[in-house]
Each structure stands twice: as C-alpha cells, then as structure tokens.
Chains A and B, each alone.
Chain A
Amino acid sequence: MATSKQNDILHVAADWWVRLRAPDANDDTVDQWLAWTQEDARHLETFERVSDLASRLGTLDQVSRQSLIQAFARPSARQRRWLPLAAAASVAVALLSGGLYLGWMRLVPGITTQVYNSAIAQNRDFTLSDGTKVALGAASTMTTQFGRNQRRIELKDGEAFFQVVHDNSRPFVVAAGDIAVRDIGTAFDVRRTGERVTIVVTQGRVEISDVNQKPGQTQRGTLEVSAGQMVSYDPNASGMTVGSMTPEQATAWRSDRLEFIDEPLAVVIANLNRYSPRPLHIADTDLDKLSYTGSIRTDAIDSWLGALPQVFPLRVNEKAGGVTLSDAEHPSRR
C-alpha cells in the first residue's frame, strides 16, 4: 500500500530529524542523511514537512505553548496544577496560604442570600445590589450571598457574564463547582457544564483557584488570568488548561450565538440544551468526546443539527419531542 509506504517514510524522516539534532551528529551522520534524501524524491519532501511542523511547534505563541507544556510536560500536574504556570510570561502565579483563602469562603452570619434562575432559551440581564451587572444565560441558576466583608456568587448551572463593581473591602468571588474566581477589577464570563468550568476574562484580571482541597495539601495556588485569556477546568481530564478567546466570542451568547473552542460534543450539547426547545440527547458515549470548534446560532439549532452529520460520523434522529445523536457506524436504534 502506498499509504503504508508513506507512513514508513514519515517515521524514517522523523528519526532523521532527531538524529541530526542530537549532540553526537557528525559529518558522517549528515552524509548518510544526504544519501537518504537522494534515494527518493519523497524523502526530502517528507523530512521538510516534519521539520516544518517541529519549527512551528517550537515557536508557538506563549499561551498555546504554556498550555501544551502544562498538559503534557508536567506529569505531576494533577497534584500541583497551578505551579507549572509559574514560568509563563503572560500568566503570573501567586501562592496564598490556605488560611487566607478560606477567609473568602467562610460563611459569615448576617448574609443576604438570593437565588436567580432563567428559563430555557431565555437570557436575563440584571443589576445586583452592589451595582455589578450580570447577564445570566438560559437555563442557568446562581445564588448571591452578600455580606459586609464579601460578595459571594455561586453558579450552580449554566453561564453568566459579570461586570463587577470593584470593592477592595468586599471581594467578589464566583464559585462554580471546584473553581472559585475572584475579581480584580473585571468583566468575565463563567460557564459551568456539570463539573466542567470555563472562564473567559474580557476585561481586567481575575484570580482563579481550585476549591477542592485534597488531604495533605497545605498550600494552594491561585492563577491570575487577564483579559483575552480562557481557562478551562475539567476534573476528569488534565485539570486546568489556559487558552485564549476574544471578549466577542466569550459573550456571543448574549447575542444568540454560542461559541466553542475545542470542546467535547457532550459539553456543546449540554449547553445547547439550555437554548433548545427540544431536548438533545447523545445516544452513544463514544460521540461525547468528539471535539467541536465553531459557533452555533441559538435560534437556528435545527439547521446546525442538520449539518452536523457532514462534520462528525453521526446520525441525527428526530423522535417525539426530542432529538437523538447516534454513532453513524452503529445499526439504527429503535
């Protein structure tokens, strides 16, 4: 097979790439490599493509670079997932003691609690008692607990965008699952899909911390994130990853458009369900992990569903009152 031959060449080319970079590469190595490039026109061509990819990966932008290093080059990242980011030029990391952190979280008597929620396909805008503006996404629930020393929000489900009136004496903290986001003069978006949390800072900076302290951990890190950066947290995958997203993308949902960058299909569907009049359901779990990047109009979910089988190996079946996505490979379900 031509493809398997091509694959062999690819592996040999990658081997040469490594050998030529090794400190023990000498004139003979270079001569042997030159001889190999002359054996077949595809050899040099494949080598160039391998080398080109490596060059591009060696000169990545800071945010992509750090997120890949954090995800793959730090084996103990799960235990100390904040620390590796210390090297990032664009991300400053500060360590706070556990005591100080708990200070934000402790519930103080005399707090007023309020619950806000929104219906399916309905975004809500409102202003909190401190002047902070909130845009709550569809089918979302949040509670506010405002005390003298702190303003605490809990996002129980869905998505919310905050334009915070900063007050040094009353920190503004949004909790979403394992994650707490603390404002430092900011506007930011928080989306919670089950235990998965995505935070995008559109203005200023926030501090993000993992609330779920493990036994034996005495110190905790906070990650400082600034405008244009996106942090995704998934307790079942690599923990935190840092990426980038524009303010327009992050708040597109306020103008009836959901934006996703490299999100599992299961997360995309869960968020669409906050807007879809008909419940969407994934029948085969192997579809959950398919990665989706793109924008979806919340008023045109049906046409998006119609186009989906062109992008992913799946089938869309309409059933009474709902829509089911199933693996195109599997025999049809009843």
Chain B
Amino acid sequence: MAMSTVTLSVHVDEIEKLFREHNRALIAFLQCRLSSLSDAQEVAQEAYLRVLTMDNREDIDSLRSYLFKVAGNLAIDRLRKRKVRSDFAAAQASDEPMGEATPVHHAMAVQQVAGIRHALRELPAKTSQAFVMHVIEGRDFGAVAQTMNLSERMVRYHVSNALAHCRARVDEKEMP
C-alpha cells in the first residue's frame, strides 16, 4: 500500500491533465465499444484507477495510449462477461434480469422507433438488414457476414451507411 501511495504522487498531475484533455474521447470510445453510456463511465473510472495505481510509469511512453489500451482491454472483459451471462440465461431459458453485466434496456419513444423504422425502409434491404443484426440484435460483424453470406468488410460498410442515415433522419426530427 505504501508503495502505491508513493507512485501515485509521481504522476497524479499527468493523470489530471489526461482526464481534462481526453476524458470525453475516452467515454465516447468506450460507449462505442460497449453500447452503453453508464457502462462506459464505469469502465473509464476503473481505467483511471489502473493507470493511477500502476507502478511502472517509467516504462510507459505515452500515458494517453496506455489509458486507452487499459480501457479497451477492460471493455473486452466486460463484453465477454456479458456474453457469458446472456448465454447462461439463454441456456436456462430464464427471463430473469441478467445483473450488472447487461446494460439497462430503455424504452425508446414509440415515435422514435417509428422514425428509425422509416429511415431503415429508405435503405437497400441488405444495408438495413446488416445494421439491425449488428446494432439492434447485437451480433458481431463476423456472425452477420456469415448469415448474410457477405464479407465482413461489406457488412461494416452497410452498418456504417445505415448508422449515418438513421442519425441524419433522427436529427431532422429533433432539430427541424
């Protein structure tokens, strides 16, 4: 414990600076990976804690790269835990809540869901299919590619297009 207190004082200023300059990007990065803002905030906190309490500061070139690397790994762990939980729940055929590893589900306003439905109808069938399978159903790019008999690159292309299109349509409604 004494060790870590000593180390802490060495780079605490650096971490404050890191937080000021990159916290927003870190949260955005984690939200992208985890599809959940509250999970992103939790993981970010844990990542700062890991960086704060590390004892090999002198071995690290860029503290920022290290922070994002730690955060990325924590995100992967969390996704893995979620998958284990949901597989377990599926195997048990139980519809009990799956605990803290699963992000909270939110009811979107009926109008908003309808807006998304309309936006998706404006797209080619494959584009909206890839998007719904990945973003809404939560299947990874590889699984979507296999089901649709497409390359992963094409799946990513479709998902990206549909996401930009839906965001633009939602924006039109929110700020006409």
Contacts and interface: CB of A to CB of B under 8 A. Distances in A.
Interface of A: 7, 10-11, 13-15, 17-23, 27, 30-31, 33-34, 37, 44, 47-62, 64-65, 67-69, 71-73, 75, 89, 243-244, 261-262, 291, 293
Interface in B141-158: 141-142, 152, 156
B20 interface: no
B164 A31 contact: no
Contacts of A69: 132-133, 136-137
B129 A72 contact: yes
7 closest pairs, A vs B, by CB? Answer: A58-B35, A262-B114, A14-B164, A72-B132, A61-B107, A73-B132, A14-B163
B138 to A, nearest CB: 6
Interface residues of B, number: 56
A240 to B, nearest CB: 14
Given A75-B125, A243-B110, A291-B114, A30 B36 contact: no
Given A68-B113, A69-B137, A18 B160 contact: yes
A51 B168 contact: no
A55 B35 contact: yes
A56 B108 contact: yes
A291 B118 CA distance: 9
Dominant secondary structure of chain A at its interface with chain B: helix
Contact of B24 (A19, A27, A33, A44): A44
A307 B5 CA distance: 68
Interface string B128-140: 1101110111101
Interface of B: 22, 24-25, 28-29, 31-33, 35-37, 64-65, 68-69, 72, 95, 103-108, 110-111, 113-114, 116-118, 120, 125, 128-129, 131-133, 135-138, 140-142, 152, 156, 159-161, 163-164, 166-168, 170-171
Given A21-B32, A23-B141, A48-B28, A68 B116 contact: yes
Contacts of B108: 56-57, 60-61, 64
A60 B138 CA distance: 11
A59 to B, nearest CB: 5
B35 A11 contact: no
A59 B118 CA distance: 19
5 contacts: A22-B152, A30-B69, A52-B37, A71-B132, A75-B129
Contacts, number: 158
Contacts of B118: 291
Contacts of B142: 23
Contacts of B141: 21-23
B25 A11 contact: no
A7 B172 CA distance: 12
B156 A18 contact: yes
B114 A261 contact: yes
A44 B33 contact: no
B69 A58 contact: no
Contact of B116 (A52, A57, A58, A293): A57
Contacts of A17: 32, 160, 163
Contact of A34 (B25, B140, B168): B25
A69 B54 CA distance: 44
A23 B155 CA distance: 13
A261 B109 CA distance: 11
Contacts of B29: 20, 30, 33
Q: Which of B68, B113, B156, B166 has the most CB of A within 10 A?
A: B113
